[in-house]
Amino acid sequence: RWSLYNPGAKFLDPVTYNAVVTSHALVMIFFFVMPVMIGGFGNWLIPLMLLVADMQFPRLNAFSFWVLPGSLYLMLMSNIGENGVGAGWTIYPPLSTYSYHEVWMDLAILSLHLAGISSIFSSINFVLTIKNMRSVGGHLLALFPWSIKVTSFLLLTTLPVLAGGLTMLLTDRHFNTSFFDPV
């Protein structure tokens, strides 16, 4: 009722609000859901459910987790600039126009690239662990390992496409190419 009675910004100015919303969305997706929920919980539960000692490539998992602090640092740095990231819920529509965007948007996109690399490494490890390390005679698969395998496969097929699209947008922006030429 309060919003309908008195429209307009309630807590923050619109630019700061957009920066907070964008950073919150990116942090929750790329730093909480994928690494913590799937990576952390899955790294513990998948080997238990498959009756194996560890993941197939434990060092690959460790590497995928060591990429995340740098990515989170870049995400935080992108939000403390003049206006922050401030793209709203999505990154693509503001970048697809020819308007000027500050370097903070580049830092956020580089952060997403690093988080995507981390997710790709852990997804490779999940798929190979579930495929190759089942016990002898284990033809059936529990629901949680199956869902992690499907999710990891979908991540492996979609994240490179997203990274390629964002890279083409950055290339258009900085090198005046015409991957996304609206004409």
Give just the sign of the alpha carbon dihedral 94, 116, 39, 135: positive
pLDDT confidence of residue 150: 92
> pLDDT band for position 153 (50/70/90)?
very high
pLDDT of 124-149, one tens digit each?
989 999 988 877 777 788 888 898 88
- Residue entry with tokens 């699209």: 165
> Does the pTM exceed 0.85?
no
pLDDT confidence of residue 84: 65
More confident residue, 110 or 82: 110
Q: What's the full length of the chain, in residues?
A: 183
- Summarize the confidence of residues 157-163 as an average pLDDT: 86
pLDDT of 95-108, one tens digit each?
655 566 677 777 88
Identify the weakest region by mean pLDDT among 28-32, 132-136, 150-154.
28-32
| Res. 59: pLDDT tops 70 | yes
- Summarize the confidence of residues 19-42 as an average pLDDT: 74
Q: Where are the domains of the chain?
A: 12-134+142-174
pLDDT confidence of residue 151: 87
- Residue entry with tokens 């991540």: 155
Intra-chain end-to-end CA distance of the chain, in Å: 44
